[in-house]
Structure formats: structure tokens, C-alpha cells
Amino acid sequence: MKKIYLISGFMCDKRLWDKALSFFDSSYKFIYLPIPLEENFEKLLEKIVINEEKINLIGFSLGGYIASAYALKYKDKINKVLVISSSLCSLEKKELLQRQKAIELTKKFAFKSLSEKKIKTLLEDKNNQEIITLIKKMYEELGKEYFLTQLNATLHRKDLKEELLKSKIDFSFYFSKDDILLNHLWLEELELNSSFNFTKLKRSSHMLPLEEPLKIALYIKSWLA
């Protein structure tokens, strides 16, 4: 049996993977790792408990950053890492200020649901109401505590490029070439200076596990082969 550990992104839960996992049979075992409720990033990593070695680890978006940081911290535990829709660098100043403002407003007033307009910026198909509803539902059900904790824990994230290049871990990157949430220059520089595998879809979608579940499933199977 092939065992794979999964970490979802910001304000997402295991429902993110349901469609993709429906394409696997019982010879695969997927283990979902929720992002711990911890505002200190190092403590967050310490609370991800995996009691075995040579694991296959997949992370989406924020989960891709967390999975990579975990792999670099606990190298002996890792077989390979797949990073989906994530660039593993520090936040740009504009994004950092936006997130700090979001934290302040949420603490001062109330937790606001994610608007459909914002959700649509994450999607290729702007009219897929099923996916829009699911993203909104995950966001609302996780709620204020997860929102503030996940933002605070990952606000001042470090650039992982140098550690990645020094490591001997098998990393693969899978993303849309027009995903507006990614730092594409950072990814291009990493690709130029590493032997990691990069797969770029001719898409703008950030939410690839929801919009491209079959492609994700087929890629995971080839990645594990």
C-alpha cells in the first residue's frame, strides 16, 4: 500500500481533496494532517506528529509551504514532497500589509465571510457555483479562530529557497502558470538553479485540487511510481 500525507491550504480542510481522492483505489492510503492551531510557526511544525519515516508528503498553497518547512526541519522522515499551488518565499510587502490589516479589522470588528468576488479570483471557471459554495463553506466553518491563528503563524515566513537548494530531498512543484497568488519569478529562479521537477498547467486556477481533480490524481500516481 502506498501511503501519502496531505496538508490543505489557508482556511481549507480535507474536503479540498475529496474529488481527487475519489480516483484512487484501496492500494493508496491518504492521511490528512490538519494545520495545528498555533500562532508560532516553529511550534506549529512541532505539533504536526508523524510517527514514521520516509513519508510522501503533499501540501497545497499554505499547506505547501508548511509541508516544505516540515520536510526541511525533519529531513530523515521524508521520502518526497509535492508542492501544489505554492511559492515558498516570504510575503511581498503589499501582501504583508494587507494581511496585517485583515488581522486588525477582524480583531476589532468581526470575522467576515469570503466574498464570491474574491473566490472567483482563485478559479479558472468563474461560474462553477459548486466549487464557490464549497470554498465559502470551508472558510465559514473554520471561522475566526482558524483565520487569525493561521494568518499570525505564517505572516513573517522566511524564504525557503536556500534550504531547498542545499537539501537532498526530492521536491516537485505543480501549479498554474497564470496563478496570480504565486511568485512566478521565485519559482523560475528555483527551477533554473535546481534539479526539482516543475509541472506548469496552462491555467490561472489556484484551487487545482478542486478544479483539476483528475489531473491531480494522475499526477500523484505518476509522482509515486
**Domain residue ranges of the chain, discontinuous segments joined by +:** 2-224
Pinpoint the alpha helices (H) of 74-156.
93-108, 116-120, 129-154
- Residues 6 or more apart whose Cβ sits within 8 Å of residue 26: 1
Superfamily covering domain 2-224 = Alpha/Beta hydrolase fold, catalytic domain (3.40.50.1820)
8 Å CB contact between 111 and 144 = yes
Of the CA atoms within 13 Å of residue 110, those in its CB half-sphere come to: 4
Q: H or E element: which one contains 218?
A: helix 213-224
Per-residue pLDDT tens digits of the chain, which is 225 residues long = 899 999 999 999 999 999 999 999 999 999 999 999 999 999 999 999 898 989 999 999 999 999 999 999 999 999 999 999 999 999 988 888 999 999 999 998 889 889 999 999 999 999 999 999 999 999 999 999 999 999 999 998 999 999 999 999 999 999 999 999 999 999 999 999 999 999 999 999 999 999 999 999 999 999 999
The radius of gyration computed from the CA coordinates of the chain, to the nearest angstrom, equals: 17
pTM: 0.96
What's the CA gap between 181 and 171, in Å, rounded?
20
**pLDDT for position 173:** 98
Q: Report d(CA 61, CA 10) in Å as an integer.
A: 7
